Amino acid sequence: MSRLVMKFGGTSVANVERIRNVARHVKREADAGHEVAVVVSAMSGKTNELVAWCKETGSHFDNPEYDAIVASGELVTAGLLALALKDIGFKARSWQGWQIPILTDDAHGSARIAKIDGARLIDGFGAGEIAIVAGFQGLHAPTNRVTTLGRGGSDTSAVALAAAIHADRCDIYTDVDGVYTTDPRIVPKARRLDRISFEEMLEMASLGAKVLQVRSVEVAMVHKVKLYVRSSFDDPADPKLGTLICDEEDIVEQQVVTGIAFSRDEAQITLRDVADKPGVAAAIFGPLAEASINVDMIIQVVSEDSATTDITFTVSGADFERAQKIIASHREAIGYARINGTEEVVKVSAIGVGMRSHSGVAARAFQALAAKGINIRAITTSEIKFSMLIDEPYTELAVRTLHSLYGLDAKA
């Protein structure tokens, strides 16, 4: 008998009728003889509502109480799904994160899972019981407080649970039927991928693809959890298999470029006429790191006299104003003449493990974008991807150009 974890996101459980539809998906797998654990998110929009209530109630923000409040959305979904399964003849019970327990650190709002004891769920399987687990949450044992794992944390809950109970696979159900070569709303010719490697999915998720939370892919890669992305809106009696996320070795034919991702949550900051001397980079990026501001692209251009330099870097759009204020407060230590910045930029990336064995992949992109009149502000590369920062109005043109360039368009 095989063991399976099924995870359903907020749009999949948005109302009672959709929860009944989820129950039919679970029924199909249970009828096939699987031992099933289900991880659920809060109903669509519920977490945002709870967050708004926290802000409305009082100015004294308390992280542990915030987690206790926002974690409640998943509890409602878990209980409702258990009721729906009982209505169609199955033994089912809901589980809160602390009851399993899912143990985490104490970083409220973005906790990391330290350990999961799946013994109680496995005992329930022996009694023919389906486990419905509230995702997104855990327990910090020393303080006995509920914690939450951050946005998209139910994905991580599901993958970590699959590893803990030695599940044969973990199916992530969402509102799309798999992972596509790029966003189909931007490129109608985007194709659904049958398979994608963990490394490629990790890059796509971190570079703007919204299908999976980055940490869930990391956990799956470390623990070798076979992961499928599927649609909960398929007919429960005849669903598509979706996209398999697996080891690179399990993919027979590998394209040079697998997908094109883009992120609009980018901002560019440039410091002009910075003194070119040891310690300047530390004076800039040290305070940003202390403020937990992640810096992505960094470009340094030295002047002709080698006395000054211009330094350009990118941060997330959400951190743009805060980063500028921090830099301004350290102006004397840094020694720059002026600061420029813009949020009207987008990062476009090409990802593919095939880049390891092919040269000139990025150069083709640069030529193709130049032919379209698209200026590249900054470039970063790694072994299996390259990213370019461009002006926001050119986003769709750039994505479509690269998608066609690397032969990713669906055949007519």
Q: Which residues are annotated as a binding site?
A: 7-10, 47, 74, 174-175, 180, 185, 210-211
Residue 154 confidence class, pLDDT cut points 50, 70, 90: very high
Q: What is the pLDDT of residue 412?
A: 56
- Label the pairing between strands 129-134 and 35-40: parallel
260-405: CATH class: alpha beta
- Tens digit of pLDDT for each residue in 276-324? 888 889 999 999 999 989 998 998 887 666 788 899 999 999 899 999 9
> Which residue's entry shows tokens 């939370």?
213
Instruction: State yes or no: pLDDT of 206 exceeds 90.
Output: no
In the chain, CATH 3.40.1160.10 sits at 3-250
3: left (phi over 0), alpha (psi -120 to 50) or beta: beta
Q: What is the pLDDT of residue 387?
A: 94
Q: Which residues are annotated as a binding site for substrate?
A: 47, 74
How large a percentage of the chain has pLDDT more than 70? 98
Task: Give the count of beta carbons closer than 10 Å to the beta carbon of residue 226.
Answer: 16
Shortest CA distance to 113 belongs to which of 141, 133, 132?
141
| 404: amino acid identity, one letter | S
Residue 61 confidence class, pLDDT cut points 50, 70, 90: low
Instruction: State yes or no: pLDDT of 354 exceeds 90.
Output: no
> Which residue's entry shows tokens 């769709």?
396
Residue 240 confidence class, pLDDT cut points 50, 70, 90: confident
How large a percentage of the chain has pLDDT more than 90? 77
45: left (phi over 0), alpha (psi -120 to 50) or beta: left
Q: What is the pLDDT of residue 328?
A: 94
Q: Which residues make Cβ contacts (< 8 Å) with residue 324, sequence separation at least 6?
A: 269, 339, 341
Residue 325 confidence class, pLDDT cut points 50, 70, 90: very high
168 or 301, greater pLDDT: 168
Residue 170 confidence class, pLDDT cut points 50, 70, 90: very high
Among 13-17, 92-96, 352-356, whose mean pLDDT is lowest? Answer: 352-356
Mean pLDDT score of the chain = 92
Q: What is the pLDDT of residue 226?
A: 92
Q: What is the pLDDT of residue 369?
A: 97
Rounded Cα distance, 172 and 71, in Å: 20
Q: Strand order of the sheet with strand 195-197?
A: 91-95, 129-134, 35-40, 3-8, 169-174, 227-231, 243-246, 195-197
Instruction: State yes or no: pLDDT of 214 exceeds 60.
Output: yes
Q: What is each CA distance from 390 to 287, 347, 369, 401, in whole angstroms?
A: 27, 6, 10, 13
Q: Which residues are annotated as a binding site for ATP?
A: 7-10, 174-175, 180, 185, 210-211
| 265: amino acid identity, one letter | D
Fold of 3-250: Carbamate kinase (3.40.1160)
In the chain, CATH 3.30.2130.10 sits at 260-405
Among 205-209, 259-263, 394-398, whose mean pLDDT is lowest? Answer: 205-209
- Within 267-394, residue ranges assigned H as helices are 280-290, 320-329, 331-334, 361-371
Residue 74 confidence class, pLDDT cut points 50, 70, 90: very high
Shortest CA distance to 112 belongs to which of 161, 156, 155, 72?
156
> Which residue's entry shows tokens 């009851």?
99
3-state helix, strand, coil in the chain (%, to 5): 40, 30, 35
Q: At what angle do helices 214-223 and 198-206 cross, to 10 degrees?
A: 160
Task: Give the count of beta carbons closer than 10 Å to the beta carbon of residue 114.
Answer: 14
